[in-house]
Structure 1
Amino acid sequence: MLDSVLTQLVAAAVSEAQRPLVAELAAARAELGEARRELGELRRALEQPASGGELVYLTVAQVAERLGVCQKTVKRWLEDGRLAHVRLPGGGIRVAVAELERVLRENARKEAAE
C-alpha cells in the first residue's frame, strides 16, 4: 500500500516537473519550424532572378563562369577575402552580384592606372 502511494506521488511529481519542459520543447519546435520555413524561402529567393531578370546571388560555378576562371581560383579568392560571400547552412557559398561587380570595377581601375 505504501509503495503504491509513493509510486503515485513520484509519478505526479515527475509529471508536474516535466510540464514546463514540455511547454519549452513545444515552443522550441514551433520556432525551429518557423526558422526552417524562413530558410527555405531564403534559399528559393537566392535561386530566383531579381525583377530585372538578373540573379542576385551567384554560386561559385557561376562566378567562375562569369570571370572566365576555374572554380578553384574563385574559392581561393573567397578564402583570401578578395570576394565577400555568404555561407549557407548546408555548406553552400553564394556571392552577391553587386560584390562581383564591385571587384570587377576595382580591378578595372587598377589596370587603367598601370
Structure 2
Amino acid sequence: MCACNTTTQEYASVSATAKKYGVSTDTVRRWIEDDRVEAIRLGPKTVRIKIASLEALITPLGR
C-alpha cells in the first residue's frame, strides 16, 4: 500500500485506500475534498493520502 520506496508506509494511493477500506475511489476523494483525511498531490493525476489520517478517521464502534 506504500506509494514510496521507503521501509515506512506513510502514504497510500486513492485506489489502495479504497480497496483496503472497502469503499469506492469516489468516497476516498470525497474524504479528501471534505478535509477528513490529509492528502498530497504529486502530479496532475497523482494523489497520496497520509495513512495516519486514515487511521484517525476510522474508529471502532462502541459497545
What's the TM-score, normalizing by structure 2?
A: 0.76
Alignment length (residue pairs): 61
For structure 2, the residue ranges without an aligned partner over 5 or more in a row are: none
- Large movers: runs of 4+ above 4 Å: none
| Alpha-carbon distance in structure 2 between the residues aligned to 1:57 and 1:63 | 10
| Alpha-carbon distance in structure 1 between the residues aligned to 2:5 and 2:30 | 26
Deviation at 1:74, TM superposition (A): 0.6
For structure 1, the residue ranges without an aligned partner over 5 or more in a row are: 1-45
Task: Name the one with the larger helix percent.
Answer: 1
Q: Based on CA coordinates, which of the two structures has the bigger radius of gyration?
A: 1
| Alpha-carbon distance in structure 2 between the residues aligned to 1:84 and 1:72 | 16
Task: Name the one with the larger strand percent.
Answer: 2
What's the TM-score, normalizing by structure 1?
A: 0.46
Q: Cα RMSD between the aligned structures?
A: 1.9
